[in-house]
């Protein structure tokens, strides 16, 4: 009975999520007058290096996620499990950075990136993306590490483990779900970010997807059908990444791991 209710709920949820996209996908296979056509998908790649653009977005998003986790996981572990001054202050300070409206940071960051020669470079995007995704990373991972029982750490200490080793060999593997979750969130944030990508990148071959899509409108006409086709195309890598990562979220702690 409960199974059936859950199943029904699942179908309803899936429909609600997908329904608006149905119109997008449907339109993407039509010309403006309603005739079926694959023209939009072809047109998405004409006149612009769309494949390169998708690659740019993949690189930037993946690099941002990797950097965030590399930098943030160790900090989260320290804040959650080790006693030292300033852990809470760091959490608060990073949260404060997240509280600033991004639009106010564009101008100063532009100046900063120009000063260090990172203007119009993908690295010049990865750096601010990582910085502003770090607070979420640290908070999520800290809450994850806090869930992991302290007995594990004390056991490791008895075994003569340094904090570094304990982190790398014990806690990191156990934080799989947290890391997967954070990776997806940061990836999607970097994938869809627009303001920085518009301002910091000017070369056509270095553009990322959101800005490239905004460039589809040439003249005053908005080629919706082409834009929808492009949007459907770029959903594919995103879906793949999401499906790959959500498996990791599934593997939670088992009773065995806790006892060992």
Partner 1 sequence: MKMSPAASERYQPYALVAPTVAVLLSVAAYPVLATLWLSLHRLIIVFHDRRFVGLANYASLFGDGRFWSSLGNTCYFAGAAVPAELVLGLLLALLLDSAIRGRSALRAVVLLPWAAPTVISAKIWMYLFNPQSGPIGATVLHGVDWLGTPPYAMWAAILLDIWKTTPFVALLLLAGLQAIPTSVPEAAQVDGASTWRMLWQIKLPLIRRSIVVALLFRTLDAFRVFDSIYVLTQGGPANTTETLSIYTYKTLMKAGDFGYGSTLAVATFLSIVSISLLYLVALRSRIAERA
Partner 2 sequence: MLAHRRRWLAAMSLLALGATACRDVGQADSRGQMRLVFKYQPLGPDPAPMRDLLADFERQHRNVEIATEQLPNDADSALQYFLTALEAGADFDVLVVDIIWVPMFARAGWIADLSQEFPAELIRGDFLAGAAEAAIVEGRVFAVPWYTDVGLLYYRTDLVPRAPRTYAELEQFAAEAHRKEPSVQGYLWQGRQYEGLVCNALEAIWGFGGTTETEQLRIDSPAARAGLGYLRSLLRGGVSPSSVQSASEEDSRRVFQSGKAVFMRNWPYAWNEAQAEDSPIRGRVGFAPLPTAKGEPGHGALGGWQLAVNARSPPARRAAATRLVAHLTSVQANLSLATAYGRRPARRAAYQDVSSLPSFDKALYPILQNARPRPLTPYYNLISDALQSEFSAAIVGIREPEQALRRAQQQINRLTAAVQ
Ranges within 55-94 binding partner 1 (CB under 8 A): 70-72, 74-75, 77-79, 81-84, 86-87, 90, 93-94
Q: Does 124 bind partner 1 (CB under 8 A)?
A: no
What part of residues 157-176 is at the interface with partner 1 (CB under 8 A)? 157, 162-164, 167
Least distance in angstroms from the C-beta of 216 to partner 2 = 9
Buried b / exposed e along 115-137 (16+ C-beta atoms within 10 A): eeebbebbebbbbbbbbbbbbbb
Stretch that binds partner 2, among 26-34, 82-90, 137-145, 185-193 (CB under 8 A): 26-34
Q: Does 220 bind partner 2 (CB under 8 A)?
A: yes
Q: Are 94 and 72 in contact (CB under 8 A)?
A: no
Nearest partner of 194 among 54, 95, 57, judged by Cα: 57
Least distance in angstroms from the C-beta of 69 to partner 1 = 11
Cβ partners under 8 Å of residue 27, min gap 6: 224, 225, 228
What part of residues 183-212 is at the interface with partner 1 (CB under 8 A)? 184-185, 188, 191-192, 194, 209-210
Q: Does 218 bind partner 2 (CB under 8 A)?
A: yes
State the helix-helix crossing angle for 2-28 and 224-250, rounded to 10 degrees.
Answer: 150
Between CA 48 and CA 216 the distance in angstroms is 9
- Residue 5 or 104 with smaller CB distance to partner 2: 104
Between CA 178 and CA 190 the distance in angstroms is 18
State which of residues 43, 134, 138, 227 lies at the interface with partner 2 (CB under 8 A). 43
Stretch that binds partner 2, among 11-19, 53-61, 209-217, 244-252 (CB under 8 A): 209-217
State which of residues 157, 214, 246, 251 lies at the interface with partner 2 (CB under 8 A). 214
- Residue 21 or 110 with smaller CB distance to partner 2: 110
Q: Does 211 bind partner 2 (CB under 8 A)?
A: yes
Q: Does 104 bind partner 2 (CB under 8 A)?
A: no
Q: How far is CA 103 from the centre of its chain?
A: 20
Q: Are 111 and 142 in contact (CB under 8 A)?
A: no
DSSP β-bridge partners for residue 30: 36
Between CA 252 and CA 93 the distance in angstroms is 30
What part of residues 18-37 is at the interface with partner 1 (CB under 8 A)? 18, 20-21, 23-24
Q: Does 66 bind partner 2 (CB under 8 A)?
A: no
Q: Does 38 bind partner 2 (CB under 8 A)?
A: no
- Please spell the DSSP secondary structure of 30-67, one letter per residue: B-TTS-B-SHHHHHHHTTS-HHHHHHHHHHHHHHHHHH
Q: Are 181 and 243 in contact (CB under 8 A)?
A: no
State which of residues 7, 12, 47, 92 lies at the interface with partner 2 (CB under 8 A). 47
Between CA 62 and CA 127 the distance in angstroms is 12
Binding site for partner 2 (CB under 8 A): 31-33, 35, 43, 46-47, 106-107, 110-111, 114, 195, 198-199, 202-204, 211, 214-215, 217-223
């Amino acid at each position: 009975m409960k199974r059936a209710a859950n199943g029904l709920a699942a179908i309803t949820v899936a429909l609600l999520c997908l329904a608006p996209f149905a119109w997008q996908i449907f339109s993407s296979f039509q010309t403006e007058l309603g005739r079926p056509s694959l023209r939009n998908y072809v047109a998405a790649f004409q006149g612009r290096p769309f494949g390169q653009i998708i690659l740019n977005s993949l690189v930037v998003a993946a690099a941002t996620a990797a950097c965030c986790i590399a930098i943030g996981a160790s900090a989260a572990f320290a804040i959650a499990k080790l006693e030292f001054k300033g852990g809470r202050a760091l959490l608060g300070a990073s949260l404060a950075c997240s509280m600033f409206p991004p639009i106010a940071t564009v101008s100063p960051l532009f100046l900063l990136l120009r000063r260090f020669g990172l203007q119009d470079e993908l690295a010049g995007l990865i750096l601010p993306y990582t910085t502003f995704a770090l607070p979420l990373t640290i908070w999520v991972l800290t809450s994850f590490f806090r869930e992991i029982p302290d007995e594990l750490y004390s056991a490791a200490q008895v075994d003569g483990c340094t904090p570094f080793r304990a982190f790398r060999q014990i806690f990191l593997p156990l934080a799989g779900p947290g890391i997967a979750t954070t990776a997806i969130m940061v990836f999607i944030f970097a994938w869809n970010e627009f303001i920085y990508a518009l301002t910091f990148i000017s070369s056509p071959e270095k553009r990322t997807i959101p800005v490239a899509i905004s460039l589809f409108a040439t003249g005053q006409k908005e080629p919706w059908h082409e834009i929808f086709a492009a949007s459907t195309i770029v959903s594919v890598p995103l879906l793949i990444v999401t499906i790959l990562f959500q498996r990791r979220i599934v593997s939670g702690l088992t009773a065995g791991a806790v006892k060992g």
